[in-house]
């Protein structure tokens, strides 16, 4: 059985490897859900995006249960919720059976290593959480009659042959390459979600998230935003792969989470892209980070990693049309917020 306290004021339930043994370490009592307060379960709730989602749900009146095994998440991301009567945390691997008393209205499945460094280090865990973890989360949604939401990814498009990527593009993925464990896990998760919808009639939603950044990312998670900001704040060279002409588009986390919330509350069953269509080269982006941090860093060009996508840009026409959503936070404001978060951590 796992045994780790995650801070004062949490109600923590630690679930053992068999998925059935439970030990309570209760500091805060959960008040009974007397009103029609919606109940949300967020897997990966101590991660970067999961913790922002938890905050948004609490601010919109949900009671929230977060599940995380801290494989890439951190207590720090949810520490501010200690003592919040509407929040409960369960430390558990979601590939194990999820045993939960009481009603659940929404299941948000966000658990998965998400950065290339993380899933290169944890390829089997990544495949397991995308397959077995999604299966367990869908099983819980079925048992509770809850609506299920899958956090999928633009990676399912692989190294895309069409540009920008629309939801009806089927992708160009190397199944056996270094990104295969993540891409195929998410593609399986999408297929399983649709199978549960078709066979069991459960309500499901699928978002394909494009590069998102913001406070609570880990400085060393290998993704371009924290890597560049970390190097710039230390006045170290910014490592740009290839000649830096590959493009990326970056969405600020608050914009993404709003889009995700709207999608869950919509009627759309088929996948929807959420991301920021403003495209820039990695080299331009590196220069922008140097400018905004006032750094003395130079740019260091490094060999291009295998299967690094050359272009990534979402077509968000569907989100605009169905959800009346589009990003609102401009790159400079989002980066300023993120830089000030990282300044205290370098
Ligand atoms: P993250 O690593 O910060 O968060 C993932 C969380 O899931 C972590 O807290 C981790 O500990 C937890 N987790 C992983 N495996 C688990 C398991 N077996 N059991 C319980 N908890 C587990 O990453 P993130 O950027 O917040 O990504 C969240 C979700 O969004 C992921 O599913 C990811 O694939 C998806 N996504 C993110 C982005 C992005 O730009 N951030 C882009 C596309 C998709």
pLDDT of 225 > 60? The answer is: yes
- pLDDT for res 306: 75
**So what's the pLDDT on residue 124?**
98
Q: What is the pLDDT of residue 1?
A: 33
Q: Which atom of ligand 1 is nearest to the CA of 109?
A: 32
Task: Note if the pTM is more than 0.85.
Answer: yes
* CATH classification code of 3-213+252-276+313-329: 3.40.50.720
Atom 29 (ligand 1) nearest CA: 110
157 counts as catalytic: no
Ligand 1 pocket, Cβ-based, cut-off 6 angstroms: 43-44, 46-50, 67-73, 93-95, 110-114, 129, 133, 151, 153, 209, 211-212
Residue of 106, 119, 157, 182 marked active site = 182
Please name the residue whose Cα sits nearest to atom 22 of ligand 1: 111
Alpha carbon distances (Å) from 220 to 90, 111, 229? 25, 19, 10
Q: CB neighbours of 170 closer than 8 A, spacing ≥ 6?
A: none
Average pLDDT over residues 184-208: 98
284-334: per-residue pLDDT in tens? 999 999 999 999 999 999 998 877 777 778 999 999 999 999 999 999 999
Q: Give the ligand 1 atom nearest the CA of 218.
A: 3
Question: What pLDDT sits at residue 107?
Answer: 98
pLDDT digits (tens, 9 = 90+) for 73-122: 999 999 999 999 999 999 999 999 999 999 999 999 999 999 999 999 99
| DSSP-assigned states of every residue in 221-278 | S--HHHHHHHHHHTTPPEEEETTS--EEE-EEHHHHHHHHHHHHHS---S-EEES---
Span from the CA of 47 to the centroid of ligand 1 (angstroms): 6
Residue 269 and residue 197 in contact, taking contact as beta carbons nearer than 8 Å? yes
- Residues 147 and 254: their CA atoms lie apart, in Å, by 22
Domain ranges within the chain, ordered by starting residue: 3-213+252-276+313-329
248 within 8 A of 280, measured Cβ to Cβ: yes
Q: DSSP assignment of 278-343, as one string?
A: -EEEHHHHHHHHHHHHT----EEEEPPPTT--S---B--HHHHHHH-----S-HHHHHHHHHHHHH
Atom 15 (ligand 1) nearest CA: 112
Confidence of residue 26 (pLDDT cuts 50, 70, 90): very low
Find the 129 Cα to ligand 1 centroid distance in Å. 10
What backbone phi and psi angles, to 5 degrees, belong to 21?
A: -70, 135
Using the atom order of ligand 1, give the atom closest to the CA of residue 46. 9
Angle at which helices 224-233 and 331-343 pack, to 10 degrees? 60
Cβ 156 vs Cβ 183: under 8 Å: yes
Ligand 1 atom closest to 95 (CA): 18
């Amino acid at each position: 059985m796992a045994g780790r306290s995650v801070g004062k004021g949490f109600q923590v339930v630690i679930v053992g490897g068999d998925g059935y043994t439970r030990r309570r370490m209760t500091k805060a009592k959960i008040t009974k859900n007397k009103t029609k307060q919606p109940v949300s379960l967020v897997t990966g709730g101590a991660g970067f995006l999961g913790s922002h989602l938890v905050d948004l749900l609490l601010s919109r009146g949900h009671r929230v249960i977060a599940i995380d095994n801290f494989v890439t998440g951190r207590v720090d991301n949810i520490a501010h919720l200690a003592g919040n009567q509407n929040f409960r945390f369960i430390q558990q691997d979601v590939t194990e059976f999820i045993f939960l008393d009481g009603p659940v209205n929404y299941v948000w499945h966000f658990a998965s290593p998400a950065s290339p460094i993380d899933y290169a280090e944890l390829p089997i865990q990544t495949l397991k959480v995308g397959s077995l973890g999604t299966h367990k989360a869908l099983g819980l949604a079925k048992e509770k009659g809850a609506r299920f939401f899958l956090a999928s990814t633009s990676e399912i498009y692989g190294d895309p042959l069409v540009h920008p990527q629309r939801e009806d593009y089927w992708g160009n993925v190397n199944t056996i390459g270094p990104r295969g464990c993540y891409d195929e896990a998410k593609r399986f998760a999408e297929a399983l979600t649709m199978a549960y919808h078709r066979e069991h009639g459960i309500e499901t939603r699928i978002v394909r998230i494009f590069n998102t950044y913001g406070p609570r990312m880990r400085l060393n998670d290998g993704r371009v935003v924290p890597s560049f900001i970390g190097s710039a704040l230390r006045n170290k060279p910014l490592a740009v792969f290839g000649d830096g002409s590959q493009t990326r588009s970056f969405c600020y986390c608050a914009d993404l989470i709003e889009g995700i919330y709207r999608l869950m509350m919509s009627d759309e069953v088929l996948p929807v892209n959420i991301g920021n269509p403003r495209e820039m080269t990695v080299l331009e982006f590196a220069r922008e980070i140097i400018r905004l941090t006032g750094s003395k860093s130079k740019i260091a060009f490094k060999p291009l990693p295998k299967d690094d996508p050359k272009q990534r840009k979402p077509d968000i026409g569907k989100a605009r049309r169905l959800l009346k959503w589009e990003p609102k936070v401009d790159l400079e404001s989002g980066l300023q917020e993120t830089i000030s978060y990282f300044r205290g951590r370098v």
